[in-house]
Amino acid sequence: MAGDGLEGRRILVHVCGGIAAVKAPELITGLRKEGAEVRVVMTAAATAFVAPLALQALSGHPVAHPGRGAAVDEAGMPHIDLSAWADCHLVAPATATTIARLAVGLADDLVSATLLATRAPVLLAPAMETGMWENPATQANLGKLRSRGLHLVGPLSGRLASGREGMGRMAEPAQLLEAARLLVEPRRELAGVGVLVTAGGTREPIDPVRYLGNRSSGRMGLELARAAQRRGATVHLVTCAELDGSPVGVEVVTVETAQEMLAACRELIPEVSLLLMAAAVADYRMAHPSAQKMHRSEHPTLELELVANVDVLGELVAERPAACKVVGFAAETEDFRRRGREKLAAKGCDLLVANPVSGEHSAMGGEEAEAVVLYPDGREVELPYAPKSLIAGRILDLAAGLLDQSRGAPGAG
């Protein structure tokens, strides 16, 4: 019987052919230290980076790889036996080739066949050069996999195998362990709770083809929605961002402007007990947007008259049901703690997540973030720099702690 965390869990580690495969021994050791039972599958290319015998010694089981085909049941079919055995699959590293195979449903090696056959959660840890990671084909493949419910952790920015600096470094084993815990723990503390998440940067029209916007990708809101849904919540996602795969089981409402976001949230707020306001709402909008496209030939110089935008967070805090809890977000380029505290006091949130959006750890538009969660009573919780999927999980941990007093409120049953 499985215990807490990874104790007693059956984890199948898929090692693919990249230099990050050298981290597999540390990952397998960490899993076993936490009480997991570990088996390993390798691609042919992976065996050039780390010896199957070494991973056999660390996992305590024969390693399945081309030329051996080891399985849980030697008399059966390896990919079926392994897929049925696992509580969770960790693909580390997940190379561009493996990601492409999974996206199109190929089953031409033991790794891809096993993953195609499984119904257990799959966690991908991408690792590749920056150009490969940013290629539209890779991003399209990842979008397909996310939409099918596969989970990602990383990649990170850092030194790559080529010696260059950039995005594509595999997440560290400690981060993979944390992500695996989130996947295999029976987290149902939000079962039946209505949750509303906002995401992305609003787009305020200048004319029919131009708008005022910001660099928000909507990634944090998307990860919050996924995390809440995995914990049993009924989730509504109001987004201005173009999603790379809607979370399975999440109701998505797409809007453009702050006014549209406020209207959509007002319709949904009676159904929810928790608001996670991660959207980057524009502070200003055009006083009089042009009904026609403006041309440079007709406007050699141009002055835009801007007016203060609607305060979506402030309006919803004021209108929420008494038991509804609100988590606000503040993206700041300087002194983000102080400014976060000022926003927390001004808006009346129950929690506020303050993110720095300048420097190398900027949360705006990236795959990773760092933050500090601020409480009205002065407490602070640090969230060190990590993939947004992990940051979202920690925010949900803290937000769930607010709900004990509001069980039975609208949206909680």
Phi and psi dihedrals of 206, rounded to 5? -95, -45
Q: How many Cβ atoms from other residues are within 10 Å of residue 97's Cβ? A: 18
Contact in structure between 212 and 206 (CB atoms under 8 Å): yes
Q: Which of 135, 141, 214, 309 is catalytic?
A: 214
**Residue 132 in 3-state DSSP?**
helix
Are residues 225 and 194 in contact, defined by beta-carbon separation less than 8 angstroms? no
Residue 266: CB atoms within 10 Å? 13
Rounded distance between C-alpha atoms, residue 97 and residue 101, angstroms = 6
- H-type alpha helices, 118-167: 130-134, 136-147
Q: Say if CB 344 and CB 319 are below 8 A apart.
A: no
Is there a catalytic annotation at residue 309? Answer: no
CA atoms in the 13 A half-sphere facing the CB of 137: 10
CA atoms within 13 A on the CB side of 315: 14
Q: Which residues are catalytic?
A: 214
